[in-house]
């Protein structure tokens, strides 16, 4: 039997290169923001996670993928891929 599991969507505060808060973004919104950062080659943007500043470079990579940084999506995708391998 299957059931629907409910998940709280994680949001993390993002900041522009002037230190202004862009708000608390979910994973999809963060990806969209990172696309814009890469397209415009913007330096100095970052997120705050557990009081740690994680920089986003001009190619939209996080300088440190900290524990808790949008982990749920990756954990679920890993479970999906593992389940598909046993089909």
What six digits make up the tokens of 67?
A: 């524990």
Say whether pLDDT at 66 is over 80.
no
Q: In this predicted model, which residue has the larger pLDDT, 36 or 74? A: 36
Q: Could you tell me the residue ranges of all domains in the chain?
A: 12-85
- Exposure of 47 by Cβ count < 10 A (0-12 exposed, 13-18 middle, 19+ buried)? buried
Q: Which helix (H) or strand (E) holds 75?
A: helix 71-85
Q: What span, in angstroms and rounded, lies between the C-alpha atoms of 54 and 14?
A: 10
> What are residue 21's DSSP bridge partners?
15
Say whether pLDDT at 87 is over 70.
no
Say whether pLDDT at 3 is over 70.
yes
CA 65 to chain centre: 9
In the structure, what pLDDT confidence band is assigned to residue 65 with cuts at 50, 70 and 90?
A: confident
C-alpha neighbours within 13 Å on the C-beta side of residue 29: 13
């Amino acid at each position: 039997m299957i059931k629907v599991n409910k998940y709280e969507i994680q949001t993390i505060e993002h900041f522009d290169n002037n230190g202004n808060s862009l708000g608390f973004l979910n994973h999809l919104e963060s990806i969209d923001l990172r696309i814009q950062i890469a397209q415009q080659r913007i330096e100095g943007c970052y997120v705050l996670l557990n009081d740690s500043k994680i920089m986003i470079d001009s190619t939209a990579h996080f300088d440190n993928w900290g524990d808790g940084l949008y982990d749920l999506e990756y954990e679920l995708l890993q479970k999906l891929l593992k389940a598909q391998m046993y089909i």
